[in-house]
Structure 1
Amino acid sequence: MQEVILEARGINKEFHDPVTVQVLRDVTFAVNKGEFVSVIGKSGCGKSTLLYILSTMDTDYTGELYIDKELMSGRPDVELARIRNEKIGFVFQFHYLLNEFTVLRNVMLPGLKLGRYSEQEVEHRAIERLKMLGIAHLAKQSAYRISGGEKQRVAIARALINDPHIIMGDEPTGNLDKRNSDIVFNIFKELTEAHNQTLLIVTHDPEFAENSHRIIEMEDGRIIRQ
């Protein structure tokens, strides 16, 4: 039987600014371990809003969210922050690397924050992730000195440092040219196929979505295909 890593049940979300607008309507779906799922839909359909709820960063919604079979809804912020760091890896359109740090240190930061391993062990794990992504030679470089495509690979290594249950991405190839987009896609594909990593990626790129395992399509805050 498939192991469910993430499940949304009847998620609804409203914005109140200044009038009430419903942006998500009864969103229900599940993601299994090792699945590579793309979320698509026109701008404004609610994709990014949904991702922020699924990542536990937005708690102002109704419905139920489960990660690793545990209910996230209604938990205090400090607990959600710990769960995020431990169970979710993030890859955004912008890499959000800290320019003053080396590539290696950027990858290490979530591991140091988690505090599960010694600094020496976190460094070893970070180097292993950089090797996996073919960028170990950049470890000692300052983050600001590497290319955009390399920065996004560093961001993926950082997302992997704590062995998350799921990696969530918000347009992770949105700022990249075709060559680097293909590199990032192939990394994601290999993560699912070789390492059974679960991925949930919001994308505008139809080719990216078509080559993932499954597409969830949204329209006007609803899921119309999954």
Structure 2
Amino acid sequence: MESTLALQADHIIKYFYEPEKFQVLKNVSFDVKKGEFLSLTGKSGSGKSTLLYVLSTMDTDYEGQLIINGETLTGRTQNQLAAYRNEHIGFVFQFHYLLPEFSVLDNVMLPALKLNRKTKAEIEHKAYENLKLLGLEDQAFKMASKLSGGQQQRVAIARALINDPSVIMGDEPTGNLDSKNTQVVFDIFRELAHERGQTIIAVTHDEDFAKNSDRTIDLSDGRIVHHG
């Protein structure tokens, strides 16, 4: 029987060693269902961004086990993880990380060109469809640097979706946006989770954003203090 779980974090322990040894994650365990929109919250220094980087497979220096869609990713090589991320995980950061000298369409196409599973024409079509989904089709041929902050963040979401990832991870995805654009991004995430079955895990300090997501996990001093 196929599992309904998108992600399982099992007894995750993480230390920093500079300037001295410090335990930043203390035995963190939780599951995320497929199609769930989860917010990770907590004060600055609570370990939420560190946890996201472990969950995203970008940080491999931890104890415990990480399973995504039934695959154990703990212990894989950096090259294996990079390939896995590009295919299965979409990222939306606080800063959009678009390439300013590229067009909007080219920025969205990049992860799919790297994956190299489809023809360039197919990728271009998919990128355009994603921009349409986010109300940006009329901006496709503009340079990314010419867009507003809210538009750039929506392009970053379109790019995160290009390889049809099963999990989308956001690190303060609305951190640089005003309340109107924050609502737009939130609504997009909710639609992706509830209508397209994509799993969203977002670190946020925005209380309204967290409160309106399906579930919140609150961290304090490296431990889960609240599941809601």
> Would the TM-score normalized by the shorter structure come out above 0.5?
yes
> C-alpha distance in 1, partners of 2:29/2:47?
14
Does the Cα contact within 8 Å between 2:3 and 2:69 map onto a contact in 1? no
Identify the residue that residue 24 of structure 2 maps to in structure 1: 23
> What pairs up with 1:97-112 in 2 under 5 angstroms?
97-112=98-113
| Deviation string, structure 1 residues 74-93 (Cα, Å, up to 9, x no partner) | 10000000000000000000
State TM-score, norm by structure 2: 0.98
Q: Offset of 1:18 from its aligned partner?
A: 2.8
The root-mean-square deviation of aligned C-alpha atoms, in Å, is 0.9
> C-alpha distance in 2, partners of 1:196/1:72?
22
> C-alpha distance in 2, partners of 1:41/1:114?
35
Secondary structure at 1:44 match in 2: coil
Task: Name segments (4+ residues, structure 1) moved above 6 Å.
Answer: none
Does the Cα contact within 8 Å between 2:103 and 2:140 map onto a contact in 1? yes
> C-alpha distance in 2, partners of 1:19/1:149?
39
> C-alpha distance in 1, partners of 2:149/2:19?
38
| Deviation string, structure 1 residues 9-55 (Cα, Å, up to 9, x no partner) | 00000011131100000010011110000000000000000001110
Structure 1 unaligned spans of 5+ = none
Does the Cα contact within 8 Å between 2:6 and 2:69 map onto a contact in 1? yes
> C-alpha distance in 2, partners of 1:30/1:136?
36
> C-alpha distance in 2, partners of 1:18/1:98?
34
AA matched with 1:103: V
1:150 correspondence with 2:151: yes
Does the Cα contact within 8 Å between 2:12 and 2:29 map onto a contact in 1? yes
Secondary structure at 1:122 match in 2: helix
AA matched with 2:15: E
State TM-score, norm by structure 1: 0.98
Does the Cα contact within 8 Å between 2:128 and 2:140 map onto a contact in 1? yes
> What pairs up with 1:165-184 in 2 under 5 angstroms?
165-184=166-185
AA matched with 1:139: A
Does the Cα contact within 8 Å between 2:94 and 2:175 map onto a contact in 1? yes
1:160 correspondence with 2:161: yes
Identify the residue that residue 119 of structure 2 maps to in structure 1: 118
Secondary structure at 1:164 match in 2: coil
| Deviation string, structure 1 residues 55-90 (Cα, Å, up to 9, x no partner) | 000000000000111111110000000000000000
> C-alpha distance in 2, partners of 1:194/1:6?
19
> C-alpha distance in 2, partners of 1:18/1:47?
20
Q: Offset of 1:2 from its aligned partner?
A: 6.2
> C-alpha distance in 1, partners of 2:192/2:201?
12
> C-alpha distance in 1, partners of 2:114/2:138?
24
> What pairs up with 1:1-226 in 2 under 5 angstroms?
3-226=4-227
AA matched with 2:141: K
Structure 2 unaligned spans of 5+ = none
| Deviation string, structure 1 residues 182-217 (Cα, Å, up to 9, x no partner) | 111111111112211110000000000000000000
Secondary structure at 1:128 match in 2: helix
